[in-house]
Each structure stands twice: as C-alpha cells, then as structure tokens.
Structure 1
Amino acid sequence: MTANNLKNQLGDLFSGLKNLVIEPPTLDKEHQKDQLQPLTPYRETEEFIGSCETKSEREQVEDLSIRGWTSEWSSVMLFPQYSDGSSQGMILEQYLLIVWKWLWLIVVSTLIAATASFMVSSFIISPVYQASTKLMISVGDDYSLFESSEYLSTTYVELLAKDPVTESAAQTLDLDTGQIKNGIIIHAIPKTPLIELTVEQDDPRLAMEIANQMVIAFKQVARKSKWLPGSDLIVVEVATQPRTPISPQIPLNTVVAAVVGCALGTGAAFLIEFLKVMLGSKNPR
C-alpha cells in the first residue's frame, strides 16, 4: 500500500466521522426555555446537551451521562443560573418533580410526627395548671408611705418565699415544703404596689389552695414576727381553680411536630435522590 493510498483512506475515514457529528441545535433565548425540560432518570441526554450554552457545559453533561448521572440532577447541580435566568423555572420544576415523586413519604412522615406529638402531649406528659392571686401593699393614707410601697413590694416578695411562710402553708395543707417551694412564683408588678403570687401544680384544685393558703400563712407569720409594722397585704384577686392546663399546649405541639415531620420527609426525599445520583456515578451503566 502506497503512502498516497493510505492518505486517501484516512481522509475518507475522517470525512465519514465528521458527518456523524450531531451539531447542537441553535435556539434563541425565547425558545431555549422550552428546550430545558425535565428529563427522566437515565434517559438519553442529547436534548439537554443541545440546550447548553457553552462547550464546557456540554462536556460536563456528557461526562455525567457516561458515568450514570441523571439529567434531572445534572441540571440542578451544574447550572444554578443561566445568563438569561431561564434555568430558574427549570430547577423549580425539577424540585417539584422530586417532591411529587416522594409525596407519599412526606405525607406519612408528617402524619406520624403529628400523631406522635398529639399522643405524647395528651396521654404521657402530665398537665400543669396555674393559679394566681394578686396582693396590694397597704401603708395608710400618707402619700409618702404610698410612694414607698413600690419599694416595700420587693421586700414582701422576699418575705413571702421565706421558710416560715412555706412551712406554715405546707403544714396546713399536709404537703412537703419542697412541693410548695418548687411550684410558686412571686414577683412585684413594676410601678405599682401590687404583688402577684403564682402557683403551678399538676392538680388544679391544689394549685388554687396553695396560692390562697400562702397569703393566709404570710399574714399569720408576719403578725407573730412583727414584720414591717404599719403596712399590710390586701388580697386584690383571690386565686380560683384553673379549668385548662398551661402545658402541654396540645394544638401548638401537634402543629410544630407536623411541620418538623414534613421538613424531615422532604429532606429524606432529596437525600434519597442525591444518593441515587452518587451511587449511579460510582456504578456507571
């Protein structure tokens, strides 16, 4: 075989290969968005490759296709934004397709989380009831003494929580002193001579009884000990038995759990799709 014959045959071979090359379609930007449609996993990617704007993008998609990556995830991971903004709608459609594909998982996880939260809040967590009484410091008709009542309110808050008062109330109600101390909250209402005593217990009647008995016990101990002579506590609002617990808040807990369950289900769906992509890249077809 002569050199000329070999040269002619190679020329014919290259000419034939050149004719086999598929040139990507030239699309204006108005129709390019229609070209960028979601493709099913492991489907041929010529349509998506043809819509790529640069040679570098086409090479990346071709490489991913060879390694088993889906066109669906290639578009989402590689091209977050084209210069004309056309990829935003496409990426949103890809996400919606994944959500629709795993909608059953999202719904199931939402229902499981909401049901579990409702059951735990209703039957496992002990309800807590709150009873409150309001007291006012009485210091007579002198205006200067009335001004000092705001200062005295802080002192009364400290005295109400003293051991002699809690022990007297516990003895009357036949309770442990610690049970009373752990359940009472006393604070002065700012810029007023008022004090609020709040009791939290798992029994609504007991919460009311402790709140009212604490006031009675304080007056008895203060009279015997002669605490702060010239002033007194007047009950402005008597504690009543609460009808509904302050916790757990079953509707709120159920809604929050449902939102968390929905988020976890959605995250699991995207994680599964991502793992499919990763495993596909390691095990090409």
Structure 2
Amino acid sequence: MEETIDIKELFQTLKKRLWLIGLITIVAAIISAVISFFVLTPIYQSQTQILVNQAKSDQQLYNANEVQTNIQLINTYNVIITSPAILDTVKNDLNLTETVDELTEKIEVSSATNSQVVEITVKDSSPHLAAKIANKTAEVFQSEISKIMNIDNVSILSKAEVKDDVSPVKPQPLLNIAIAIVVGLMLGVGVAFLLEYLDNTLKTEQDIEQILELPVIGVITNIKDVPKATVRQTEPIGRAQRTRGETFGS
C-alpha cells in the first residue's frame, strides 16, 4: 500500500510541475538548435583508398603468405601515413597554415579487417580542402613509401571528390536536438522533484496528520467575502420589504 501511495505522489509531483518540465525541455531544444545551426562550424569529410603490397619480382607468385604479411603490415602503413615524413610534404605542397599536429588531427587512417585496402579520411570545414588533403596524402605516401620501406606497389583505388550535394558530417542538428530534448526532460524531472523536496509548506490535512501525528477533527473551508456591489443591491430590497411589512401590519 505504501508503494502505491509513493507512486501516486510521484505522479502528482510530475503533474504539478509539468509546466516547468515542458519549459526546461523546450528551452534546451531551442538552445541546441541555435548552437547547431548558427554557432558550430560545419565539418565535411572526404575519403580516398589505397592498396599497398610488398615488393615482388616478376617470377614471384602472388600467394596467401604474401597477402597475410601485407595485412600484418597495414598498421605500420597507417602510422607512416600520419607521420611528419608524409605530412610535412603535404603541408608544404598545399601551402597549409596548420601545423603537422593539427593536420594529423584532421586525418584518420583505417582499414577493414583482413584487408589490404587503406582508407584515408580527412575532415575539414571546407569540403574542397578536405579532398585536396586526402588526395595529396595518398600521392605523397605512394611516392615516399618506397624510400621508407621496401614497397614498390602502392595503388590509389579511388580519389576523393567533392559532390554537388555534399553535406557536413557534423554537427547533426536533428540528433543534437533529440539529445537536448532527452536531457531537458531529465533535468526538468530532477528540478521538479528537488523543488518538491525543498517545499516544506502544509497543503493538505494529510500533511498535518503526517507531521503532527494527530487526527484531523474538522476542516474549515475558504469563505469568500461578499462583494460590495451585491450588498448595495440587497439593501434597498430589504428596506422595501420592511416598509411593506409595516404597512400591512398597520
């Protein structure tokens, strides 16, 4: 029985503070929309793919052991691609103002499981610059890897291109607004329960019984004052009735 009463009180608290919860949720959604559309800088993504093999002679056959060795070396290639040995050349060729460390943060190198294909992904506020950095990184790696390692078979499978309908990968306004709505609801519910916890005023007779541990004998309802306009209208009628009574009595 106590659990049912507690649940009822919880729902009553939420119902009483429903306007506050709704207000906080709406404000959070509006703030998120404004930040997503007008404050955050759109970030675009561009990607290129390269295939890396070991050096091999004309007589050497392309076997499974060679493929497995190449797969194991993929992690090494990923580190080399984002190393200063490659990015310094990329920075100078494109006349970039970013440092090598800043350029490294824009570039992400990955490869699928058991695959010799390496994907170079670049994120930048300019889609054209992102494509240029991705393509230049692949070209520099293709030309420099033979000097760094015994690799002479690097192929560029696909170049980064900027499409006409390119859209930013972040921010995602709809996702941000949805997250803000959820956070706003949680914050609103928390504030509602906090205000209810801090409210020590007595509102019902049940509150009195709970605090004083005494039974309530009676309840005095609110008595509204009679409006003055009503009193003025009833006085002449009363006088007229008394006058008529005196006349009939005489």
The TM-score, its normalising length taken from structure 2, stands at 0.69
Distance (whole Å) between structure 1 residues aligned to residue 72 and residue 53 of structure 2: 12
> How far is the alpha carbon of 1:270 from its aligned partner?
2.0
> How far is the alpha carbon of 1:212 from its aligned partner?
0.8
Aligned partner of residue 200 in structure 2, secondary structure:
helix
Higher relative contact order, chain-length normalized (CA < 8 Å, sep 6+): 2
Distance (whole Å) between structure 1 residues aligned to residue 37 and residue 66 of structure 2: 50
**Aligned match of 1:48:** none
Question: CA distance change for structure 1 residues 95 and 159 in 2, over 3 Å: closer, same or farther?
Answer: closer
Matched to 1:190, the amino acid is T
- 8 Å Cα contact 1:157/1:187 also seen in 2: yes
**Aligned match of 1:270:** 193
Aligned partner of 2:33 among 98, 118, 128: 118
Q: Is 232-241 or 104-113 further displaced after alignment?
A: 232-241
Residue 76 (structure 2) pairs with residue 155 (structure 1)? yes
Runs of 4+ in 1 over 4 A off after TM superposition: 278-281
> How far is the alpha carbon of 1:130 from its aligned partner?
1.8
Matched to 1:199, the amino acid is V
1:70-149 map, 5 Å: 86-139=1-54, 141-143=61-63, 144-149=65-70
Residue 153 (structure 2) pairs with residue 232 (structure 1)? yes
Distance (whole Å) between structure 1 residues aligned to residue 202 and residue 196 of structure 2: 10
Distance (whole Å) between structure 2 residues aligned to residue 226 and residue 170 of structure 1: 19
Distance (whole Å) between structure 2 residues aligned to residue 226 and residue 276 of structure 1: 72
> How far is the alpha carbon of 1:123 from its aligned partner?
1.2
Distance (whole Å) between structure 2 residues aligned to residue 151 and residue 218 of structure 1: 18
Which consecutive residues of structure 1, in runs of 5 or more, have no partner in the other structure? 1-85
Aligned partner of residue 135 in structure 1, secondary structure:
strand
Matched to 1:194, the amino acid is V
Distance (whole Å) between structure 1 residues aligned to residue 153 and residue 18 of structure 2: 66
What is the identity percentage for the equivalent residue pairs of Structure 1 and Structure 2? 26
Distance (whole Å) between structure 1 residues aligned to residue 121 and residue 109 of structure 2: 6
- 8 Å Cα contact 1:131/1:198 also seen in 2: yes
Deviations 1:206-258 (A, max 9, x none): 111110111111223335x36424x3211223223372222222212111111
> How far is the alpha carbon of 1:279 from its aligned partner?
8.8
Distance (whole Å) between structure 2 residues aligned to residue 266 and residue 158 of structure 1: 48
> How far is the alpha carbon of 1:91 from its aligned partner?
2.6
Which consecutive residues of structure 2, in runs of 5 or more, have no partner in the other structure? 213-250
- 8 Å Cα contact 1:107/1:262 also seen in 2: yes
**Aligned match of 2:145:** 222
**Aligned match of 1:27:** none
Aligned pair count reads: 196
Distance (whole Å) between structure 1 residues aligned to residue 84 and residue 75 of structure 2: 17
- 8 Å Cα contact 1:185/1:197 also seen in 2: yes
Distance (whole Å) between structure 1 residues aligned to residue 107 and residue 148 of structure 2: 24
1:161-240 map, 5 Å: 161-176=82-97, 177-178=99-100, 179-222=102-145, 225=147, 227-229=149-151, 231-240=152-161
- 8 Å Cα contact 2:44/2:170 also seen in 1: yes
- 8 Å Cα contact 2:17/2:192 also seen in 1: yes
Aligned partner of residue 182 in structure 1, secondary structure:
helix
- Alpha-carbon RMSD: 2.6
